[in-house]
Amino acid sequence: MAGKRLAPVFTDNFLRNLDATESFLKPEGAAAFRRLLDRLFDDIIPLLARYPDTGRRFLQHPVRSREARTLVRKLRSLLRKTDDLREFVVDDYLVLYLLRGKEIIFLAIKHHRQLSFDLRRFWA
């Protein structure tokens, strides 16, 4: 898929994550959040739109608990056959995105010290 430029789409959850990250970074100051936004929109999004396979496949992580297996089964049932759920780690952040057709859908972004993802609203 390298070289094809996919159209970026941002979910409401991704935008809420950015708001939460801004609040989370407040102790470090507004400059830290501005650096994140600059890095995200100048580097990460263009890179992933052009080379979407750069990130790791999210569902290839080993699953070690019954609860996780149940959640993975539910997640797989929500994905279309051709969907490709991926994660990209950059600096202190993990970006979760979905490749669907000619779009790259940005689902979530978290600082590594923040809590886990909640994707229920995306597929509600």
Note whether residue 66 is domain-resident: yes
Residue 122 domain flag? no
Q: What is the residue whose two structure tokens read 């993802």?
A: 117
Residue 50, domain member (yes or no): yes
47 part of a folded domain: yes
Mean pLDDT of 49-57: 95
The CATH number of the domain holding residue 45 is 3.30.2310.20
The total of structural domains in the chain comes to 1
pLDDT of residue 93: 93
Measured at the alpha carbon of residue 110, what is the angle toward residues 7 and 121, in degrees to the nearest 5? 70
CB neighbours of 46 closer than 8 A, spacing ≥ 6?
A: none
d(C-alpha 106, C-alpha 99), whole Å: 9
Q: Which domain holds residue 21?
A: 7-111
Q: pLDDT tens for residues 60-103?
A: 989 999 998 999 999 999 999 999 999 999 989 999 999 999 99
Place of tokens 């070289």: 3
| 3-class secondary structure, 56 | strand
Question: Is residue 124, in this structure, part of any structural domain at all?
Answer: no
Query: Looking at the domain assignment, is residue 2 inside a domain?
Result: no
Backbone angles phi, psi at 2, to 5 degrees: -60, 140
Q: Is residue 118 part of a domain?
A: no
Q: How far apart are CA 6 and CA 54, in angstroms?
A: 13
CA dihedral 54, 59, 60, 62 (to 10 degrees): 140
pTM value?
Answer: 0.85
Residue 91 forms part of a structural domain: yes
Q: pLDDT by residue (tens digit) across 32-47?
A: 899 999 999 999 999 9
Q: Which residues pair with 94 in a beta bridge?
A: 89, 110
